[in-house]
A = this chain, B = another copy of it.
Amino acid sequence: MSERERLNRLVSDYGDLTVKRFFNLDAQAYRAGALPARTKEIMGLVASFVLRCDDCILYHLNRCREERVTDAEIVEALGIGLVVGGSITIPHLRRALLAWHEMRP
């Protein structure tokens, strides 16, 4: 069982209805609709990036790999994040690119 699975197990054991519904809602928000799932994952990445959450960035980078987002698309998305969020995001940019690089097929 991975660290992430172990932690999700804990959330599931302790979580009440509010917590569980939130997790369902979180999954639902990224399902394909008027916008394709692929675009939504890039948006989730940009939102996570400007809010500076490494775990969230990593999660969306993984989903972007699954959705076959290209290097150029990732860099443009992170570039928007960098301009919007400023130099305070630079350490996250470095770690995001390293993670993206290491998960290349």
A residues whose Cβ falls under 8 Å from a Cβ of B: 7-8, 10-11, 14-19, 21-23, 25-26, 28-30, 33-35, 39-40, 42-44, 46-53, 55-56, 70-91, 93-95, 97-98, 100-101
Contact = CB atoms under 8 A, between A and B. Distances in A.
A89 to B, nearest CB: 7
Nearest to A22: B82
A60 B78 CA distance: 17
Contacts of A18: 25, 28-29, 76, 79-80, 82-83
24 contacts: A7-B98, A8-B94, A10-B94, A14-B74, A15-B75, A16-B33, A16-B76, A18-B28, A19-B79, A19-B93, A22-B79, A29-B76, A29-B80, A43-B43, A43-B77, A46-B47, A47-B80, A48-B84, A51-B88, A55-B91, A84-B87, A85-B86, A85-B88, A86-B89
